[in-house]
Amino acid sequence: MLEKVSIRKENMLSHKRMIANLEKVQLLIKEKIGKTSMKQNGKLRIVVANKKERDLLIEA
């Protein structure tokens, strides 16, 4: 059962802006590392094979 959720326009715009910013960050990370994945709720998950790279990312 799906519930209909009414979202105010300004909330929608800020959400889209946030997603756009995450996508920019995702592209930058892709250039540096290689793998990222965007989840539906707008959270960016970073997949890093190398532990040193992960530690560098956390510091940045």
Structure confidence by residue, pLDDT tens digits, 18-43:
777 777 777 777 666 655 555 555 56
Q: Going by C-beta distance under 8 Å and a sequence separation of 6 or more, which residues neighbour residue 25?
A: 44
**Quick one: pLDDT at residue 1?**
43
Q: In this structure, are residues 44 and 22 in contact, taking their beta carbons and an 8 Å threshold?
A: yes
Q: Enumerate the domain spans of the chain.
A: 9-59
- pTM score, whole prediction: 0.34
Determine the Cα–Cα distance for residues 60 and 58; give it in Å rounded to an integer. 6
Determine the Cα–Cα distance for residues 57 and 60; give it in Å rounded to an integer. 5
